[in-house]
Amino acid sequence: GHLGLSDQAIDLETANNIDLTFRKTQGDIGFILNAFYNQVDNYYYQIDTGLFAESGHDHSDEEEGADEHDHSSELPVYLFKTGDVILHGFEAQIAWQLTDEFKVDLFSDYVRARLKDGGDLPRTPPLRFGSELSYQTDKLSAHIHVTRYQKQDRTAPQETATDGYTLVDASISYDLSVLNQDMSVYLRGTNLTDTEARVHSSFVKDIAPRPGRSFALGIRGYF
């Protein structure tokens, strides 16, 4: 294929947005609910052309009529494109102070990103929701965090769907004083279920998933 620069003038983005927010911050239960609707003309985004930059090797020795070629050593070519788009979705967070020590947080967010004339924008994050249970005293704090990412199958041309996954993280820390120095000992675990997780919005999701199960033990000093 051949790619060339366009002489066409660059059009500025024009956006018309509506945001609605409802929040409560007093009492044992608080929440923030936000809904939005954005209409953007001349929105700039990157598309996958399906082409790859030349790697300098010779294809002449390949079998004639071969349908596939290994592009693992080549760089994919992306182009910036404009279009009129509609973005709408929501963000929600609820915090419930069960007791003086225990607290529960629930959250979710979602965005639907589509072209006005039909089609989906690339690398749009999927619906996400989760919860966090926290325990807090003067010296001890502990948290367990569960987040669910739904499958994303609203994809642009040349883009693949991404399976959903659930991540479980936990941490515990204890504050202490050593030689009049405030310190904290902590143990943190991420992706405790060792789930294979790929970020849909990443350009390298197919070759670089999120890290697997890991643990960290450390001491933190406060100065």
Q: What is the spatial distance between Cα 84 and Cα 98, in angstroms, rounded to a whole number?
A: 46
Q: Is the dihedral of CA 40, 42, 45, 47 positive or negative?
A: positive
Closest CA to 157 of 65, 53, 49: 49
The pLDDT value given to residue 70: 64
Q: Rounded to the nearest 5 degrees, what angle is found at the Cα of 97, between the Cα atoms of 93 and 103?
A: 80
Looking at residue 124, its amino acid is: T
Task: Report the SS3 class of residue 192.
Answer: coil
What are 156-166's pLDDT values in tens digits? 988 999 999 99
The pTM for the full model equals 0.84
The pLDDT value given to residue 89: 97
Look at strands 128-136 and 76-97 and give their pairing: unpaired
Closest CA to 26 of 90, 93, 95, 92: 95
Distances, alpha carbon 105 to alpha carbons 96, 97, 135, 177, 181, in Å: 6, 9, 12, 30, 32
The pLDDT value given to residue 4: 66
- Residues lower than pLDDT 70 in the chain: 1-6, 55-73
The pLDDT value given to residue 216: 97
Q: Which residues contact 200 (CB under 8 A, 6 or more apart)?
A: 123, 124, 125, 126, 152, 162
